[in-house]
Amino acid sequence: MNPIGKKWCRIALFNLLLVASAGVLLRLKILTPLTWLNHKYMLHAHSHFAFAGWVSLFLMAAMIGNLPEKFSKGYERILIAYTITAYGMLFSFPFQGYGAVSIFFSTLSVLVSWWFAIRLWKSISEENICPVIVSNTKWSLAFLILSAVGTFYLAWLMANKVDNPSLYFGAVYFYLHFQYNGWFFFSIAALFLSRVSPSYREKIKRPLQLLALACIPAFFLSALWMRLPSWMYYTAVAAAIVQLFAFGQLLLLLVRDARNHIADKVVQTIWGLSLLALVIKFLLQSLSVFPSLSKYAFAYRPVVIGYLHLVLLGFVSLFQIGWLIKQGCLPTSNQKIPASVWAFVTGFVLTEGTLMAQGISSMFFVAIPHTNEMLLVAAIFLFAGIAWMNRQVWWRTNGSL
């Protein structure tokens, strides 16, 4: 990966520390008054900055890092502009929620992401890059642009004061679906493909194509809690079947052969944990075709939050941490996973376990004691692990960009 890509991946990791800081504050707010903090507003800041300042900035930087250095320099203006919009959201949402300033930076963030998508689309079309990597990159960029439809529709609903919770949540889930299952998934697929042999890329080409084709109709899986026409329900079922079939093929190939292409044992383990989170995500998503389970899942906030964190922390963030190690940005010793990463994994497992326990117990109207305290402990583990990783990354570069 070229120096520009490495630099901005390190900056994104620092942004993850700010995301974790906001997470700790949110957990503290539930247990203590903190009258100066508006929980809802801080939650908006936490989620928007996690998407823009950490995940998307990192993926953009990693994809740019795979370009020849002479072509990647022009992208730095885009990364700077995108980072400014991310910090604009971080520092405006806690004070006004969805207000003029935060909406301005949110809109600008979308426009800058389009700028990035259009430019990268042109770059990879002109360069002599493996067709499989190009196709996955273009799918990720197309879904990145498509996800903005949900954002703009949500803004229209709010501007026109449309009081319809179904439309509101539908717009949110549209955005989340094409971010999680489109932009995040296929950009990670493209990055992974860039580190394996050409013959192996051809093997996993077909299941990735099927997953891309199923991505758009699979949105209906996120809307089954609404009253949908029967054709939409059957479309969602068909998409779930195709996804399970394609992902099953992909999983078989990854489990059987991927270790032969990823020599680093530490990266193998971390990406294996990332893959495990992805397996659970696909299983949960497929189970949503059952109306009773779908209504239950969307009715309980801990289940929704647990699912979102499963993808964001488990699949995406663990892959990105493994990417940092593979690129030599995060040091390891004696082929062992750094303690900082284990702290992060511990926080992630505690978060998921507690949220899932909350959701299941709610189904039987049973309250589990001290769950909020457990979630605070989990948030502290995540913060500590990320802070430690930042120290290792920035110490390795002597604090320089």
Q: Nearest 5°: phi and psi at 293?
A: -70, -40
- Tell me 367's DSSP state: P
Per-residue pLDDT averaged across 172-189, rounded? 95
Q: What is the pLDDT of residue 125?
A: 85
As a residue count, the chain comes to: 401
Task: Output the six-digit token pair for 75.
Answer: 């992208």
Is the predicted pLDDT of residue 126 greater than 90, yes or no? Answer: no
Neighbours of 401 (CB within 10 A): 11
Neighbours of 260 (CB within 10 A): 10
Task: Output the six-digit token pair for 52.
Answer: 């823009």
| Mean pLDDT (the chain, rounded) | 91
The answer to whether 271 and 318 are in contact (CB under 8 A) is yes
pLDDT tens per residue across span 295-353: 666 667 788 888 999 999 999 999 999 999 999 899 888 788 999 999 999 999 999 99
Is the predicted pLDDT of residue 397 greater than 90, yes or no? Answer: no
For 215, residues 6+ apart whose C-beta sits below 8 A from its C-beta are: 139, 143, 178, 181, 182
pTM over 0.85: yes
